[in-house]
Structure 1
Amino acid sequence: MIKPVYIGLPTDNNGHLLYSERLPANAMHRLVMAEVNYWQSDKFSLIEQYYDAPDAFICLADIHADSPIEVPISCGLSDLYWLYQLHGNYRIHLADQTRQIVLKTEGTSYTQIYVPEGQYITRFDKGKHRLFYFVIKPNWLQRQGRRAMEGFNHLLDSQRAQRQEAQHNQFCPLHDKVYKLLLSLFTLPKVKRFHYDILIYEHCFSLLDLSQEDLKRNSTSASTENDLLSHIRNYITEQIPKGNLISVADIAAFFKVNYRSLRRQHYQTYGYSLGEFIQHKRMEQAADFLINTDMPIKEIAYFLGYTINTSFDQRFKRYYGTSPSTYRLNNLKTS
């Protein structure tokens, strides 16, 4: 997709500001296959690592300032960002005479922010700052059969209306699940680009899913319904690798809850159906079997509850963009 944020610093060696497209040896984190912008002066250093997949964009930025600095940025598109402040904090201002604050981040927390197209100034205080963000194309979720998630509705409404002010959700803490998932992005294997794209999509979806849980948890007190849904999702995640075939009706019977109420509660909490979550976990397990075992594809399909191999092939191709056999072959070539 189009790079959503451009840093307004010169990309040539200009006086005391040096520029490079190579990551310095002392960089704490490295994004595999990422492009790099690295600026360095006697007052600050700024490293931008980013990877551009067709339907998603991820970026990690490290800033070390010996004194307060201001960095101009431009947003080329009106986008919805998932923004994670790993260390330090900063403020984003409009780049006009009003210098209105658009966002003031909070350390070790994250939020979702809608940012209109325009020019901005980012102010960093003295110290070290590290941030990560990703952007996903809305039609990527639509292709996966997922609807707009309710926690982001007012931000998406702003995007559809093309309003000219930035808005963001409440800040959520970078708890252990989110932090581990972010760290795992920096240990992804170097594989063929199309497979790496799929890994990025999976990570972004998982981060998006966790953010939906956190928004729901923070907006209301933890309820019995949410605790039950979390328990049910953990149960599904545990059962599918064991070959236990489960449906929404089976789960409702096992947990002694009303079938229709369960479907409604899951959709209201996560913005997509429990059946879609089960399919998501089945496809994740299918990909794992294809990469890490020599099980025949027919056996994988049967293990995951697909009695007709063509239906499994069609489902897998719709999810990953390629057939199971091609997916396995491409991964064998990269191993």
Structure 2
Amino acid sequence: MKKTVNILFHISQAKLSHLRPNEATYRLVGSTVDHWMGAGFTVLEQWYDHTDLLLCVAEVNNAQALQIPIRCQPKDLFWLYMLRGKYGLYGARQSKKKLFHISEGSYLLAYMPKGDYVCHFPPGEHVLFYFVFKPSFLFREQDDILGQVQTPFIQLQKQLNQYSGSTLLPIGEESAMQIRHFLRSTHTSYLKRHKAILNLSIDLLLNSITALRQREKQEKSRKQMIESISAYAETAVAAGDILDLHHIAKNYPLAERSLRRLFKVITGQSFWQYVIDRKMLLAPKLLTDAGYSSLQTANHFNLSHARFCKLFKARHRLTPGEYIKKYRCK
């Protein structure tokens, strides 16, 4: 399997060597070495071209912020593990959109369409470990295990042209220990090395699927929780009840602060903004169908009259009085 990611440094930016430097953190016996040396930075890649996959560890040392242009040749699914430091991946053209940002101790699955990208590294020392399975290996037979996680495997199978990445996941003690053991091993035997590469990659693949399934269940559960809270809030608003998020949080396995944060992540707005939106959606019906006055409606929503009038006009572009005159049936 040919190397799937190629660095695109210009000859004036860095000098390329295929010798492993003595100061390398890891020394992968029998690996291919690409060592880039530029002004104030070095990039060392050590990689194995396995029959069914490519495995690589990259070390980046830079005194200043560094942008590394790369090119992905085929459309591939990457397992990316940040062992030290952090970096972000961006599109190289048009919008230069941020695709992901990953920090030490995290990993993700990233489907990368063919094209150019830019890696942004802050000053420091960074170690990235990744592997890529050939699609012919992953989809050699139909496997229920792969089918348990939809994205980004579907992107790979359909060879789509849009980036897709999993949520960031913690590497975990077991996986971290497996990776470190492999990187520090000194397999001089090709057969033992071949076996170790495949065993490690398959173990990490299976661990990632288990983690993604657990995360999907967790996210589904949290989404249902927020939907339940939203429905409760909507009923309370209609009834004119006073809402107390601290009291609501006692009925769920989250602290009030965590609940606030989760609500905003899932709905895109704060809990109180959601409550105000529900009130402003219901207000026209009270003013017209129910025949409420502006003051009665404000009292129903537990708002001062001035506050209610300001919110109503911002939402409906009319004062409550103007709305009544325009829409209430005589």
SS in 1 for 2:151: helix
Relative distance call for 1:156 and 1:141 in structure 2 (3 A) is closer
- Give me the whole-angstrom Cα distance separating, in 1, the residues matched to 2:148 and 2:40: 40
* Shift in Å, 1:183: 0.8
The equivalent position to 2:120 in structure 1, one of 110, 118, 123, is: 123
Q: Does 1:140 align with 2:113?
A: no
* Shift in Å, 1:66: 0.8
Contact preservation (8 Å) 1:81, 1:114? yes
* Shift in Å, 1:98: 1.6
Which residue of structure 1 aligns with residue 267 of structure 2? none
Contact preservation (8 Å) 1:85, 1:109? yes
More displaced stretch, 58-67 vs 150-159: 150-159
* Shift in Å, 1:81: 0.6
TM-score by length of 2: 0.62
Q: Does 1:75 align with 2:69?
A: no
SS in 2 for 1:218: helix
The equivalent position to 1:66 in structure 2, one of 63, 86, 89, is: 63
Contact preservation (8 Å) 1:4, 1:75? yes
- Give me the whole-angstrom Cα distance separating, in 2, the residues matched to 1:108 and 1:102: 18
TM-score by length of 1: 0.61
Which residue of structure 2 aligns with residue 19 of structure 1? 16
Which residue of structure 1 aligns with residue 2 of structure 2? 2
- Give me the whole-angstrom Cα distance separating, in 1, the residues matched to 2:129 and 2:49: 14
Q: What letter is aligned with 1:117?
A: K
- Give me the whole-angstrom Cα distance separating, in 1, the residues matched to 2:141 and 2:115: 31
- Give me the whole-angstrom Cα distance separating, in 2, the residues matched to 1:80 and 1:170: 14
RMSD of the TM alignment (CA)?
Answer: 2.2
SS in 2 for 1:184: helix
- Give me the whole-angstrom Cα distance separating, in 1, the residues matched to 2:213 and 2:159: 26
SS in 1 for 2:175: helix
* Shift in Å, 1:138: 3.1
- Give me the whole-angstrom Cα distance separating, in 1, the residues matched to 2:5 and 2:13: 24
Structure 1 regions of 5+ residues with no counterpart?
Answer: 223-335
1:58-112 deviations in Å (ceiling 9; x for gaps): 0000111111111110000101111001111111111113211122213210010
- Give me the whole-angstrom Cα distance separating, in 2, the residues matched to 1:160 and 1:144: 12
Which residue of structure 2 aligns with residue 84 of structure 1? 81
Which residue of structure 2 aligns with residue 46 of structure 1? 43
* Shift in Å, 1:20: 1.4
- Give me the whole-angstrom Cα distance separating, in 2, the residues matched to 1:53 and 1:38: 20
Relative distance call for 1:132 and 1:25 in structure 2 (3 A) is same
Which residue of structure 1 aligns with residue 310 of structure 2? none
Relative distance call for 1:16 and 1:95 in structure 2 (3 A) is closer
1:242-276 deviations in Å (ceiling 9; x for gaps): xxxxxxxxxxxxxxxxxxxxxxxxxxxxxxxxxxx
Q: What letter is aligned with 1:48?
A: E
Which residue of structure 2 aligns with residue 217 of structure 1? 214
Relative distance call for 1:103 and 1:188 in structure 2 (3 A) is same
* Shift in Å, 1:15: 5.3
* Shift in Å, 1:189: 4.1
Which residue of structure 1 aligns with residue 31 of structure 2? 34
Matched pairs, number:
219
More displaced stretch, 89-98 vs 65-74: 89-98
Contact preservation (8 Å) 1:55, 1:137? yes
- Give me the whole-angstrom Cα distance separating, in 2, the residues matched to 1:16 and 1:162: 33
- Give me the whole-angstrom Cα distance separating, in 2, the residues matched to 1:129 and 1:20: 19
1:10-39 deviations in Å (ceiling 9; x for gaps): 5xxx55733211111111112221111111
Which residue of structure 2 aligns with residue 185 of structure 1? 182
SS in 2 for 1:154: coil
Q: Name the larger-Rg structure.
A: 2
Residue identity over aligned pairs, in percent, reads 26
* Shift in Å, 1:180: 0.5
Relative distance call for 1:151 and 1:43 in structure 2 (3 A) is farther
* Shift in Å, 1:151: 4.8
* Shift in Å, 1:202: 1.0
* Shift in Å, 1:179: 0.3
Relative distance call for 1:201 and 1:43 in structure 2 (3 A) is same
- Give me the whole-angstrom Cα distance separating, in 2, the residues matched to 1:220 and 1:131: 28
Which residue of structure 2 aligns with residue 297 of structure 1? none
Which residue of structure 2 aligns with residue 279 of structure 1? none
* Shift in Å, 1:147: 4.4
